[in-house]
Amino acid sequence: MTDAPGPQVAWVTGAGKGIGRAVARRLALNGWTVAASARTAEDLASLAADCPPGAVHGFPLDVTDLAMSQSTVQLIERQLGEIELAVLNAGTHSPMAAEQFSVETFRRLVETNLMGTVNGLAQIIPKLIERKRGHIAVVASLAGYRGLPTAAAYGATKAGLINMCEALKPELECHGVRLTLINPGFIETPLTDKNDFPMPYLMPVEDAADRIVRGLRRTAFEVAFPWRFAFLMKFLRLLPDRMFFMLTRRMIGG
């Protein structure tokens, strides 16, 4: 990705708050025409008012609704033009301890974090393959690297996104389509504001947006940050299970 030489179109999901909002704003400031999607029209209107006039256009969307995802992409391209960059960021988090294991919580996170992204990919991939160009960015999480206490549902969805992107990347490259995987750590957003546990290397959301937009300009497959936390999580992937579970038991006081 390069900053748009003209009004190229970027589609950003989960743009009402947090990382998605900050990324949408950064792209708008860099000259992109941004199609911003979120559940709440008021959040989208607020985002548009916070950006250069005419740079951001709101398209309300529940990413768990496949038919709505299809109609939204069609509407974006009809009104703004062909999507050159899709940042599939919409997601949510709910901690879930083993004692409160819940099918409902698991299903909600899978439908939003994993299937919500799949619903978007199903609309954009065929278009970009046909055009033999374009760029897709999928926002997962460093939490997808290894299973951590209270994150059984959240981590599973993010691990699924990571695996899916690894599988898709070489196939999409054969068609001239770029795929970037974005793995943030703890970022200051309304979601992390609810956490009542230590969050190492917590990063301001505007700094995260800068890392993402800079990362999209490079050719690397993965954009992972903050680097210290990313290094720590990558190290945990290399640990033998016995040592890894010793550490995670300490996290829950076991």
Q: Return the number of other C-beta atoms located less than 10 Å from residue 220's C-beta.
A: 11
- The two beta strands, 222-225 and 178-184, are parallel
Find tokens 């695996």 and name the residue. Answer: 163
Q: HSE of 162 in the Cβ direction (CA atoms, 13 Å)?
A: 19
DSSP string, 156-196: HHHHHHHHHHHHHHHHHHTTT-EEEEEEE-SB-STTGGG--
Say which DSSP state 136 is in.
E
Hey, is 24 helix, strand or coil?
Answer: helix
Marked catalytic residue, from 154, 186, 225, 229: 154
Residues 6+ apart with CB under 8 A from 184: 19, 139, 141, 142, 203, 208, 212, 224, 225
CB 72 within 8 A of CB 59: yes
Known active-site residue 154: yes
Which region, left, alpha or beta, applies to residue 86 given φ > 0 means left and ψ of -120 to 50 means alpha? beta
Of the candidates 237, 28, 84, 54, the one whose C-alpha atom is nearest the C-alpha of residue 148 is 237
Of the candidates 13, 74, 78, 73, the one whose C-alpha atom is nearest the C-alpha of residue 47 is 13
Residues with active-site annotation: 154
